[in-house]
């Protein structure tokens, strides 16, 4: 299944994408794509619904972030060896886990804000892992059983705050709109191997990032199991699993985003995103 949320910001409705690519309205069945809906039992109930019995959504509504409540939005730093190399940092021996404020999450095609004083904004296409069943101190062998599905994340960052400045990743990556997510959550039954997905990102039509999740240092199962040692992962929590090489900071000369730039992201099997950078606070 491809689960999504559609409608104006703050008033999104739950939906799913049918086999013909049409949006079907789930609001008569569930309140939102969140919480228990994302557990094994919740997804099983949704899978039993015939999409043809759901109202078809006409037109081209705005697509919102695919999860209504993300309690924890976690990122993984330097999880591709070639990305670590381009930043001049060593390959980590254990996963580097950081937090992005959940308030930074926006729809996959919403504008990304460029606030005053932010002059080194950068892009990062990433595989997002959506937690289904709660996970606490689980093993790698059972980790994927606790995953509901996968989505695309753009880990937008202000490098001035991350490196060469205060060095605080949380502040560098948490401004409003710095977490485009979606367009949908693809349930794990449609993604048999999360370590075999191609990722790309273009800026103004020029390819900047090309990679594959097969080159991740720590795979999805390892990440879920590792993080569950330090906190209980809950339904709807999202782990953004790191980015392949090609970020602006790693280029020579460096390239950073400008007002009006357009980012286009794609992950195999998970759809596409497009965001325009706009000046604003």
Reported as a pLDDT band with limits 50, 70 and 90, residue 168 is confident
Tally: H helices and E strands in the chain: 6, 18
**Cut 0.85: pTM above it:** yes
pLDDT at residue number 84: 72
Q: Is the pLDDT of residue 244 over 70?
A: yes
Question: Given this model, what pLDDT does residue 85 score?
Answer: 74
Check pLDDT > 90 for residue 186.
yes
Containing 157, the helix (H) or strand (E) segment is strand 157-158
State yes or no: pLDDT of 137 exceeds 90. Answer: yes
CA nearest to 33, candidates 52, 17, 50: 17
Average pLDDT over residues 201-224: 97
Q: Looking at the predicted structure, is the pLDDT value of residue 183 above 90?
A: yes
Comparison of pLDDT for 249 and 200, the residue scoring more = 200
> Which CATH code for domain 73-279?
3.90.850.10
Where are the domains positioned within the chain? 2-53, 73-279
Q: Tell me: the pLDDT tens digits for 34-82? A: 999 999 999 999 999 999 999 999 999 999 999 999 999 999 998 998 7
d(CA 225, CA 240) in angstroms, rounded, equals 14
Mean pLDDT of 151-163: 93
Q: Write down the mean pLDDT value for the chain.
A: 95
Q: How confident is the model at residue 228 (pLDDT cuts 50, 70, 90)?
A: very high
* Token code pair at residue 202: 């273009």
pLDDT digits (tens, 9 = 90+) for 123-132: 999 999 999 9
pLDDT of residue 166: 60
User: Is pLDDT of 278 > 80?
Assistant: yes
pLDDT band at 91 (very low <50, low <70, confident <90, very high): confident
pLDDT given at position 272: 98
Pairing of strands 2-6, 13-17: antiparallel
pLDDT digits (tens, 9 = 90+) for 100-117: 999 999 999 999 999 999
What pLDDT does 43 receive?
98
- pLDDT of 191 reads 98
**Predicted local confidence at residue 148, as pLDDT:** 98
User: Residue 230: which region, alpha, beta or left (left: phi > 0; alpha: psi -120 to 50)?
Assistant: alpha
Task: Check residue 90 and give its pLDDT.
Answer: 78
Q: How many residues does the chain have?
A: 281
Q: How far is CA 241 from the centre of its chain?
A: 8
Inter-CA distances, 80 with 7, 38, 210, 250, Å: 35, 28, 12, 13
For the chain, percent of residues with pLDDT exceeding 90: 90
pLDDT number for residue 167: 62
Residue 165 has pLDDT above 70, yes or no: no
pLDDT of residue 26: 98
How large is the average pLDDT for residues 135-159? 98
Indicate the burial class of 92 (C-beta count within 10 angstroms; 0-12, 13-18, 19 or more): middle
């Amino acid at each position: 299944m491809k689960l999504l949320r559609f409608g104006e910001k703050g008033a999104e409705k739950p939906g799913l994408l049918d086999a013909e690519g049409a949006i079907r309205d789930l609001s008569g069945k569930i309140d939102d794509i969140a919480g228990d809906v994302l557990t094994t039992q919740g997804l099983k109930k949704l899978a039993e619904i015939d999409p043809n019995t759901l109202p078809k959504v006409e037109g081209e509504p705005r697509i919102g972030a695919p999860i209504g409540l993300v309690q924890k939005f976690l990122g993984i730093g330097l999880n591709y060896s070639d990305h670590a190399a381009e930043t001049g940092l060593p390959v980590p021996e254990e996963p580097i886990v950081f937090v992005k404020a959940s308030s930074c999450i926006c729809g996959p095609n919403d504008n990304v804000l460029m606030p005053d004083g932010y002059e080194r904004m950068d892009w990062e296409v990433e595989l997002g892992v959506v937690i289904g069943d709660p996970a606490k101190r689980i093993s790698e062998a059972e980790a994927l059983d606790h995953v509901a599905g996968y989505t695309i994340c753009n880990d937008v960052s202000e490098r001035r705050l991350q490196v060469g400045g205060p060095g605080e990743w949380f502040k560098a990556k948490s401004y409003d709109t710095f977490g485009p997510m979606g367009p949908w959550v693809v349930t794990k039954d449609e993604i048999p191997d999360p370590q075999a997905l191609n990722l790309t990102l273009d800026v103004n039509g020029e390819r900047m990032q090309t990679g594959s999740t097969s080159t991740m240092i720590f795979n999805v199962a390892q990440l879920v199991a590792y993080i569950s040692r330090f906190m209980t992962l809950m339904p709807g929590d999202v782990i953004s699993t790191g980015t392949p090489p090609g970020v602006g900071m790693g280029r020579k000369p460096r390239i950073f985003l400008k007002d009006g730039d357009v980012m286009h992201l794609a992950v195999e099997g998970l759809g596409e995103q497009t965001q325009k950078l706009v000046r604003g606070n």
